[in-house]
Structure 1
Amino acid sequence: MDMDTEFSQTAGSGALEIMLLMGQIMAMERRFWARETSTDWWDRIALEVWDDSQWLRNFRMRKAIFMELCDLLSPALKRQNTKMRAALTVEKRVVIALWKLATPDSYRSVGNQFGVGKSTVGAAVMQVAKAITELLLPKVVTLGNVQVIVDGFSAMGFPTCGGAIDGTHIPILAPEHQGSQYINRKGYFSMVLQALVDHKGRFTNINMGWPGRVHGARIFRNTNLFKWLQQGIYFPDQKITIADVEMPSYPWGPSLL
């Protein structure tokens, strides 16, 4: 006699009823969990019901901006359906990437959130990042009207300033090799993002990828921006006279110290 048979015979019908009831409850819990981690909340709630305040709170952008972003990235993100599976929509690829980049959630957790596998999350992040780099950066991160920028900084009390420059540390996992090179002065592993912005805080030039240990001044001296400034081609013909001295426009910021 096995243990299951012995238990059912000695426990009686009451125990069997309890076991059946527990089985039903567990099945209900599993169904509830599946619904909670399915993609319905995105397809039927976020896309169809949420207002701008909910979009801002969860995605840091309004729905109209999100849809515009999807349209801009669409040429690089469209995928054809196959006989094996339906391709993810552009909107879903973008929202998965935004969620992963904006939160500390694991790939598995993000996958559960949107009803996809963790490998799909990884692929979406890489595809969207590549599309942004190829299609948006050349259009969005650009100098624009230099005279307007110089005048804007001058009105704030910074004459001859063509941009404010500084760096920020992006936390990363320790690289397998040369990890010590990525430990910044605050004691954690990072890469440095150095950016130049105009008088309204809009990015006009970015440089990314230096190890966290490297000083901002060294990073700046090894950028194309520095070379262009040295050659006088980044702020062309932007000079003002202060105390009978003609001075060109140039970036201001602690990264240059």
Structure 2
Amino acid sequence: MALTAKIQLLVALRFFASGSFYRVVGDTFGVSVATVSRCVSNVSIALCRIAHRFITVPVGNAASETKRGFFDIAGFPNVIGAVDGTFIRIIAPKTNENDFVNRKGFHSLNVQMMCDHRLRITNCYADWPGSAHDQRIFKNSHLGRNLENGNRNQQM
């Protein structure tokens, strides 16, 4: 019996929110491990396809509002976002395994994110192994290159 799109979404969201094993999530919904895996994959692909509609660097009026917001919160002028990196724990990959060990000693991706004054994610770059330094990631990202070149009104 096929799962509805709503149930697939709920299964994937439960997995994303809990970080639990597929078996635990599957038991919650009464579905198999393979079904949970397919739900997580399908929903992840769907989210990636539409992410650009929701995760965008502010430009124009949105940039002005963000700058005002950061100034109101902290007195920082001309800020369009707060950028930082975070480690997302992963299972050790079979190739280049050592590249994914971060400075804290576990396997991860080093994900760079930027948020606005309302804590909405406006940029996400998740292409680097855990051992990569935040500065290296920033310098090689579209966000970093565009800001460095003064291209603040382009999508990053």
User: TM-score, normalised to structure 1's length?
Assistant: 0.55
State the 1:232 CA deviation: 2.2
Please give the alpha-carbon distance, in whole angstroms, between the structure 2 residues aligned to 1:160 and 1:110: 44
How far is the alpha carbon of 1:167 from its aligned partner? 0.6
Partner in structure 1 of residue 102 of structure 2: 184
Q: State the Cα distance separating 1:90 from its structure 2 match.
A: 1.1
What runs of 5+ residues in structure 2 fail to find an aligned partner?
none
Q: CA RMSD of the aligned region, Å?
A: 1.5
Aligned positions of 1:23-102 closer than 5 A: 86-102=1-17
Quick check: which has more Rg, 1 or 2?
1
- For these two proteins, the number of residue pairs brought into alignment is 150
Return the match for 2:116 from 198, 210, 213.
Answer: 198
Aligned counterparts of 2:68 and 2:34: Cα–Cα separation in 1: 49
| Deviation sequence 1:65-109 (CA, Å, 0-9, x none) | xxxxxxxxxxxxxxxxxxxxx321111100111111222432222
1:208 and 2:123 matched: no
1:125 aligns with 2:43: no
**One-letter identity of the residue aligned with 2:20:** D
State whether structure 2 residue 144 is matched by structure 1 residue 226: yes
69, 78, 88: which one aligns with 1:152 = 69
Per-residue CA deviation, residues 117-153 of structure 1 (Å, 9 max, x unaligned), is 1111100000001111112x11211123111111221
* Letter of the 1:110 counterpart: V
Paired with 1:220 and 1:231, the residues of 2 have a C-alpha distance of 13
Q: How does 1:155-174 map to 2 (within 5 A)?
A: 155=72, 156-174=74-92
Give per-residue Cα distances to partners, 1:167-204, cap 9 Å, x unaligned.
11000111112111111111111101111111111111
Instruction: Identify if the C-alpha distance between structure 1 residues 104 and 201 changes in structure 2 by more than 3 Å, giving closer, same or farther.
Output: closer
d(CA) in 2 for partners of 1:117 and 1:147?
49
Unaligned runs of 5+ in 1: 1-85, 237-257
**Structure 1 residue 160: Cα displacement:** 2.4
1:229–1:235 contact (8 Å) kept in structure 2: no
Q: Which amino acid aligns with 1:112?
A: D
Equivalent pair of 1:162/1:235 in contact (CA under 8 Å):
no
Structure 1 residues 176 and 205: alpha-carbon distance in aligned structure 2, compared to 1, 3 A threshold: same
What secondary structure, in the 3-state scheme, does the structure 2 residue paired with 1:161 have? coil
* TM-score when normalising by structure 2: 0.89
* Aligned-pair CA distance for 1:115: 1.5
Greater shift after overlay, 105-114 or 143-152? 105-114
Identical aligned pairs, as a percentage? 37
Structure-2 residue corresponding to 1:107: 22
Paired with 1:235 and 1:200, the residues of 2 have a C-alpha distance of: 20
The amino acid of 2:71's aligned partner reads S
